[in-house]
Amino acid sequence: MVITISKFYITTPIYYANDKLHLGHANSNVIADVLARWHRLIGDDVFFVTGSDEHGEKIEKAAVAAGMQNIDFVDYEVKKFKELWQRLNISNDRFIRTTEHAHEEAVKAFVELLNKNQDIYKAKYSGWYCVYEETFWTELELKNGKCPECGRDVKILEEDAYFFRLSKYQDKLLDFYNKNSFILPKYRQTEMLNRISGGLKDISITRPSVKWAIQFPFDSNQYIYVWVDALVNYLSALGWPNSDVDFNKFWPPDVHVIGKDINWFHSVVWPALLMSCGLQLPSNILATGFWTVNNEKMSKSKGNVIDPISLIDKYSADALRYFLIKEKSIGEDGSFSNDAFIARINGELVADLGNLVYRVLTLAEKAEEGAKFEGRNELGKKLELEKLEKAMADFDINLGLNIIWQFIREANKYINDNKAWALQGAELSNALYNLLESCRLISILIYPFMPETGEKIAAQLGTKIEFKYCSFSPDGKFSGKIKKGDYLFKKIKI
């Protein structure tokens, strides 16, 4: 039998290193981590990248405000990013920083390829620029004369710049969009397709005034626009163009997990740049929705940010991961509130999962010495494993978690329907076989979503988290070594 191992390259946005990250930022990393852990679980060779976007005017200003040298400032911010990802159990294989020398060299090499392909020219640039979003806007796009994204003041920039011939790629992009299901959710693909069909303008890819940036290789007065710099991280993280090993193995990306606000850069600008360089395009863009508070996007500029560390301290990383995935479907917006969070902890983590594992292990420990836990598979049929695998392959991890949860509820129902606590002898053995095997399967399937919880359940059952064992044992026996532990989750008093 030939076993083929698939590769899976997954990325998150690289976050601006100008400030602390909030719950909205944590969202993309948790989603990507669940997918990365799932793919590792099913045996894929995974490369998972996150990182920091460290150049540009916004960062320079923040460093000045903090009274620090630019590089010291970003070092300090990045340390906090890494602490957050560690606290959230984000299992990235690589943390890429755009101030790494190798990345800076990769960006220059990338721009040289664009130039070689005659896709760069010099012209005057004039437009509205928002420093905070590092984005140019047209007059039409402004909202009451301010940045449509963050509401801050914009300024007119008129300067010499080098342009990338984005317009040249309009037909190629249309062709690509018509042949591929590229962006999820689907309506985001339609949105981008409409914008491409409406006509593409060339984009400026250098700035003369921003010096905290990578020098443009063909003109010492110009610096590379921070978005071009940032997008190339997906290549440089694999060692491109100097080291082929990871690049050959993992390119192209299987999915870029992003927020819906940066879809244009990832779904139009990035593919066009890659086409110009003759590099393969990413297979999918997963454009996630926003976390809102009182219907407003959670963002620093609105002063309504929620600190993920304080939620982890109070309720655990797994509870937060669970909430972020379960509360809303990935592409849609969802509102965060403490009440909703606590309701999910008490009503689902405690009452469904925690309760199931505690009840089953209590029954198993109470069963007479040497109880065999043997029987026939009744409950295992309730697990919709194929549907779950399909949902995960489609990046629909909210549906995936709902399918697992349905099974957890079926297992609790099985205890009640069979009055498992009152059974004896062969009937008790059969019920416990079903319940222990179900808990074992749950420990495996829940692991990508809540790694600490998956491990705790497996430790209490004395079983392994391996996908090849994700079905009821064919010999009709549960063969773990039970050691009941504490409740998995504690009820939060309101």
DSSP at 210: -
CB of residue 427 vs ligand ME8: minimum separation in angstroms?
Answer: 50
Instruction: Write down the least CB distance from residue 44 to ligand ME8, Å.
Output: 23
- Binding to ligand ME8 by residue 81, rule CB under 6 A? no
Binding to ligand ME8 in span 207-236, by CB under 6 A: 230-231, 233
Q: Which residues contact 269 (CB under 8 A, 6 or more apart)?
A: 166, 203, 227, 231
For residue 379, give the nearest of 348, 418, 422, 423 by alpha carbon: 418
Span from 23-31, 60-68, 399-407, 412-420 in contact with ligand ME8 (CB under 6 A): 23-31
For ligand ME8, the binding residue among 8, 9, 24, 286 (CB under 6 A) is: 24
Q: And the tokens for 486?
A: 């504490």
Query: CB-wise, 225 or 290, nearer to ligand ME8?
Result: 290
Our CB check for ligand ME8 shows the closer of 166 and 364 to be 166
d(CA 204, CA 220): 16
Of 10-18, 99-107, 117-125, 175-183: span binding ligand ME8 (CB under 6 A): 10-18
Q: Per rule CB under 6 A, is residue 290 in the interface with ligand ME8?
A: yes
Cβ atoms of 455 and 446 within 8 Å: the answer is no
Which residues within the stretch 250-269 sit at the binding site for ligand ME8 (CB under 6 A)? 258-259, 261-262
Q: How many residues sit close enough to ligand ME8 to count as binding (CB under 6 A)?
A: 21
Beta strands in 85-142 (DSSP E): 94-97, 120-130, 135-137
CB burial class (10 A; 0-12, 13-18, 19+) of residue 139?
exposed
We find the least distance from the C-beta atom of residue 468 to ligand ME8, in angstroms, to be: 35
Query: Residue 102 CA to chain centroid, in angstroms?
Result: 25
- What is the strand order of the sheet 291-293 is part of? 296-297, 291-293, 334-335
Q: Does 391 bind ligand ME8 (CB under 6 A)?
A: no
Q: Binding of ligand ME8 at residue 291 (CB under 6 A)?
A: yes
Give, as ranges, the residues between 35 and 54 that touch ligand ME8 (CB under 6 A): 53
> Is residue 16 within the footprint of ligand ME8 (CB under 6 A)?
yes
> What is the separation of C-alpha 436 from the centre of its chain, rounded to a whole number of angstroms?
32
Query: Does residue 297 touch ligand ME8 according to CB under 6 A?
Result: yes
Whether residue 451 contacts residue 318, with contact meaning beta carbons closer than 8 Å, is answered with: yes
Distance CA 433, CA 439 (A): 10
Q: Which stretch binds ligand ME8 (CB under 6 A): 20-28, 108-116, 146-154, 369-377?
A: 20-28
Residue 258 vs 367, nearer CB to ligand ME8: 258
The tokens for 199 are 């006509």
Question: Which of 7-15, 152-160, 178-186, 272-280 is the region at the interface with ligand ME8 (rule: CB under 6 A)?
Answer: 7-15
Instruction: Let me know: does 122 contact 160? Beta carbons within 8 Å.
Output: yes
Q: Which residues bind ligand ME8 (CB under 6 A)?
A: 13-16, 24-25, 27-28, 53, 230-231, 233, 258-259, 261-262, 290-291, 297-299
